[in-house]
Structure 1
Amino acid sequence: MTTKRHLLTVLLFIAIFAGCVLPGESMASLYSDQSSSGISPLNDYTAVGTILVLSFTMVLFITFFYSGRLKTSQNLLKKLCEEREAFSTEVAERLNNTFAVISSLVSMQILNSNEEETKQKLNEINNRIMAISLVHQNLLHSKGVSKVNVRDAFTGLGEQLVQTYFLAGDIDYNLKGDECYIGMAQAVPLGIVMNEIVSNSLKFAFVDRASGEICVEYKCEKGTFELCVSDDGVGIPKHLLHGRCESLGFNLIHDIVSMQLKGSADLQSESGTKWIIHFPAECGLDI
């Protein structure tokens, strides 16, 4: 309605101006014809002034018109962004609730199980569920709707795993890397990979030890995400390192990195264990 009022005002102004100025110009022309001294310069000034004022009026008309359309488009875009953010937040909350229910069911099954091996397998499943849940929780509390803060996700995941596997010991979980954000499509598989690597270190690297260190370093440069996870534990036997390992965790790491992240995973074992992972990623320092 505001734009229409502006248009009507401008058109009315043009009509009034034309009705006042152009008759004056005609009278000046008639007077000029009757004059014996020739055409008066007043006619030229009047014509030029009329053209300038009409041009200025048209500029105002166009400005008002497109300003109104631009403002309408901006309001619509803002509304769509707010609706999208609200929808994403609701989806994340529903997913977190679903993960919590599934995790509770698995935990109940662990309590009802009498076999240690079964409990261990169920704990591994539960940790994988919680790894995905933590990524969604991070998304829920972030400023954006489609990217995850890598540092926050790795911090929460590491602290949870240390509490789960090493309650009686002293494990230093050191995280090195600048704050950066990664897309949700890659954050979930990356969280699962991190869960498998850190879980394996906590379960097998510090046998008969009350302390140890796990170091996680990451960086994202020139469209490539690099992750290095190492520990100072006992390492991996050579026949497992260079041979075919049937461990579900190892196979899961390689399959996720190669198939979902389209990257590479290299396992080293000299003084402890080290995983080096590279994959292309659209990540940055901001959302």
Structure 2
Amino acid sequence: MHRLAQFDVSRQFQTRRGKKAAQYGFGVMCAGAMIGVRTTVDLIAPSSGPFALIYPTVLLATLYGHLRAGVTAAILTFLWAWYFVLPAPSSFTFTNPTDPGRVVLNAVCCLIVMCFAEAFRRAAHGSLKEIQRSADRRLTLLAELEHRTKNNFALVASMLEFQKRRLSDITLHRPIDDAVGRIRTFADAYSNLAYEQAEHSDVEMELYLDALMNRLEKAAVPSHVRLYREIEPVTLPRETAVAIGLYLNEALSNCLKYAFPDGRSGTIGVFFHVTEGEWRLTVDDNGVGHGAVSDGSGGLGTSLMAAFAQQAGGTHEAAPIVGGFRASLSSSRVAATDTATAR
């Protein structure tokens, strides 16, 4: 219905002459269609309601072919009905003394329908153009905001790097490096979505998560650690996708930091599965069995992952497993189902 409301027979033509030709042609087509239907009706009920089918014909011609199409269809169908349907057939003469008044009344009513249809068409198209202009302005402002946000992330990271160089105590460098890494993680996920999903409110998770892991693999994963992935295709709202991406970054960073000390080799598995519309992100490693912090008691990493889970509208769980550690983020319905099954 939305597409039908935007239909315009002359929109695809660039020149004024082409648009006019399309509109007149559409009016002739509408008139021909009405004449065909009216001829069929005459086989059952000859001369009944001679002008009845003119009204919907003029309405459709005007709505989708502008006023020119409406006028063309009105003239052709009106003259045809007067000449071939109204008694006496095949003549413009009247056999009934009341027919002249009826013809004039129908002509006036047809003119009213045509005028209102054209007014409605212009109002509807004007509203659509205004909506499009407003959407374009919003997209421009959003692009500017995203650009400034990305620059602000980079500025904060640079300020922290500058502050680190001024510190003489080397033991303070690691917390600052962690903070810089997280800020760059936020900026990376944010700019990726701003670039790849600029025209969409939803995000293809398979492409997004795969690209995110490719960048992290090139930048931070050492050669003795293998990053395995298994991602199912699904489309999620942009806000949810951002939160899942940040959660995955934090989980992978924690694995790389704590799971494989002293050059120990191992594998990190990332699984994003979808079941009946519900999703689950799981990050497993076969390392030493510690997650967010080395003592397993929780810390900034755990707090950030819990915050990202809340932003995604999901549930976060992290615990040692046989032969490693697992962190998972699942949509609430999945978590509730698993809890009920466990009981």
Same fold (TM over 0.5): yes
Note if 1:50 corresponds to 2:97: no
3-state SS in 2 of match to 1:74 = helix
8 Å CA contact 2:204–2:233 kept in 1: the answer is yes
1:64 matches 2:115 = no
Deviation at 1:199, TM superposition (A): 0.8
Q: Give the aligned partner of residue 132 of structure 1.
A: 186
Question: Is the deviation greater in 45-54 or in 150-159?
Answer: 150-159
TM-score (ref. length: structure 2): 0.60
Q: Give CA-to-partner distance per residue, 1:235-266, whole Å, 9 cap, x none.
A: 239xx89xx71432123323442x43443212
Distance in 1 separating the partners of 2:276 and 2:205: 17
Corresponding residue for residue 93 of structure 1? 147
| Superposed CA offset, 1:46-67 (max 9, x none) | 2332233223222211211101
**Aligned counterpart, 1:78:** 132
Instruction: Tell me the equivalent position of 2:304.
Output: 252
Q: Secondary structure at the match of 2:261?
A: coil
* Residues 177, 163 of structure 1: alpha-carbon distance in 2 compared, 3 angstrom cutoff: closer
Q: CA deviation at 1:120?
A: 2.1
Q: Does 1:274 align with 2:326?
A: yes
Q: Secondary structure at the match of 1:72?
A: helix
User: Which of 215, 219, 230 does residue 176 from structure 1 map onto?
Assistant: 230
| Residue 192 (structure 1) aligned with residue 246 (structure 2) | yes
2:266 alignment partner in structure 1? 212
- Structure 2: which amino acid aligns with 1:263? G
Structure 1 residues 19-34: aligned runs within 5 Å: none
Query: How do 1:100-115 residues align onto structure 2 when only pairs under 5 Å count?
Result: 100-113=154-167, 115=169
- In structure 2, how many angstroms separate the alpha carbons of the residues matched to 1:148 and 1:115? 44
Cα distance change, pair 263–140 in 1 and its aligned pair in 2 (3 A): closer
Any gaps of 5 or more consecutive residues in structure 2?
Answer: 1-66, 75-93, 334-343
Q: Residues 162 and 80 (structure 1 numbering): CA distance in 2 closer, same or farther, change over 3 Å?
A: same
Which amino acid is the alignment partner of residue 265 of structure 1?
Answer: H
The one-letter code sitting in structure 1 at the alignment partner of 2:317 is: D
Structure 1: distance between partners of 2:147 and 2:302:
31
- Give the structure 2 partner of residue 229 of structure 1: 283
**2:257 counterpart of 1:203:** yes
Give me the TM-score of the superposition, normalised by structure 1.
0.70
Match of residue 61 from structure 2: none
Task: Give 3-state SS (helix, strand or coil) of 1:208's partner.
Answer: helix
Q: Specify the code of the residue in structure 2 equivalent to 1:136.
A: Y
1:121 pairs with one of 165, 175, 187: 175
The superposition leaves residues 205-237 of structure 1 with CA deviations (integer Å, 9 ceiling, x where unpaired) of 122345432222224566643211112222239
Structure with bigger RCO (C-alpha 8 Å, 6+ apart): 1
What percentage of aligned pairs have identical amino acids?
20
Give the 3 Å change call, closer, same or farther, for CA 91–256 of structure 1 in structure 2. same
Note the alpha carbon deviations across 1:95-114, whole angstroms, 9 max, x for none.
Answer: 00111111122233344555
